[in-house]
Structure 1
């Protein structure tokens, strides 16, 4: 295990709900995602960390989610994105084949952060290392609700997230009483259909 992933585990703790990665997935994403990420998949699988506050996921399962958020926007013209990680509350971390970790979507607010630059294949692994080193538990914890939600609703599985019902963009409150355990793909797709994705004021779209 390399130093970067060791540091990541020191921050988040051990894995939960691990799934082995099939050979077909390595073939599918080789050359599109960092080689180092595929090495992590081989060693660690797809799983959750920090008791499920952060998940490294199978991008293929989220292709429809990515399409729902990006189709018909300038993002679709800019790059081909793959969702490689997400938070328990639907923060989406996308890797662009040309631009690396250039798109972060806060799904509950229909907001995004975009970095407008391109990287070379040689820079992909460094991009992944920088991404993992930048991650911490607090930035994935919406309103410090993760621990209370886990106590009330139970731990998440790999295909689940904590979602506000009704959704915040429908005017629902962002309180524990309005959190439910929901299927991630279905809920993220629903959120993409409520409001148009908008960049944060400091971002560029």
Structure 2
């Protein structure tokens, strides 16, 4: 049975448009590492894509090598051990720290990290509630990407390039950090792992 937080999430985002069962071994591995509420969502809902692929809940293990590369030169690497718990169709990642239980947002396309300074090193008194609120407050536009004229791109990307699979993302070519422009004509449907490695190389030399 869904809790009130996830009910709100589904009201806002719609039922999953893609789903993969989560093995019991993954639940066991992250017990005590990630909030119990998230593990319950995994058990009930699987790792899934929502709102046509705007947002995905993911297997953290699949993103661990890439995450280490992205944050190893940032202050985050010294603060906590982070795990990817979700991602958008444009390569924005939502991380969860296992020590302080704080959420951090990393936008690979823009090459920025959003973390509340000071908060990331303060223990979260109620990680299950914080995790639930993140889902309950989610809306499709939160996981979209704006072009240079501040218009959302996702629906146009789907119409132009087709829907995303679990391993794909929409990316700008050339990349924004290499002088590319945020416009529909510059978007391509790309293999996520390959493109994110490229973005990392461009942003970190």
Structure 2 CA distance for aligned equivalents of residues 46 and 119 of structure 1: 27
The corresponding residue for 1:129 is 132
The corresponding residue for 1:55 is 56
4+ aligned runs moved over 3 Å, structure 1: none
1:93–1:101: 8 Å Cα contact kept in structure 2? no
Structure 2 CA distance for aligned equivalents of residues 106 and 92 of structure 1: 6
Within a 5 Å distance, the mapping from 1:189-200 to structure 2 comes to 189-196=197-204
CA shift for structure 1 position 190: 2.0
The corresponding residue for 1:202 is none
SS at structure 2 position matched to 1:142: coil
CA shift for structure 1 position 24: 1.4
Asked if 1:140 corresponds to 2:143, the answer is: yes
Residue deviations 1:59-102, cap 9 Å, x none?
11000121111113221110000000011111111000123233
The corresponding residue for 1:114 is 115
Cα distance change on mapping 1:187 and 1:152 into 2, 3 Å: same
The corresponding residue for 1:185 is 193
Structure 1: segments with no counterpart, 5+ residues: 197-205
2:9–2:137: 8 Å Cα contact kept in structure 1? no
Return the TM-score normalized by structure 2: 0.90
Kindly tell me the number of residue pairs found equivalent between the two proteins. Answer: 195
Structure 1 CA distance for aligned equivalents of residues 123 and 83 of structure 2: 15
The corresponding residue for 1:158 is 166
Structure 1 CA distance for aligned equivalents of residues 164 and 102 of structure 2: 25
1:107–1:191: 8 Å Cα contact kept in structure 2? yes
SS at structure 2 position matched to 1:93: strand
SS at structure 2 position matched to 1:108: coil
Structure 2 CA distance for aligned equivalents of residues 107 and 83 of structure 1: 13
CA shift for structure 1 position 153: 0.9
CA RMSD in angstroms comes to 1.3
Structure 2: segments with no counterpart, 5+ residues: 147-151
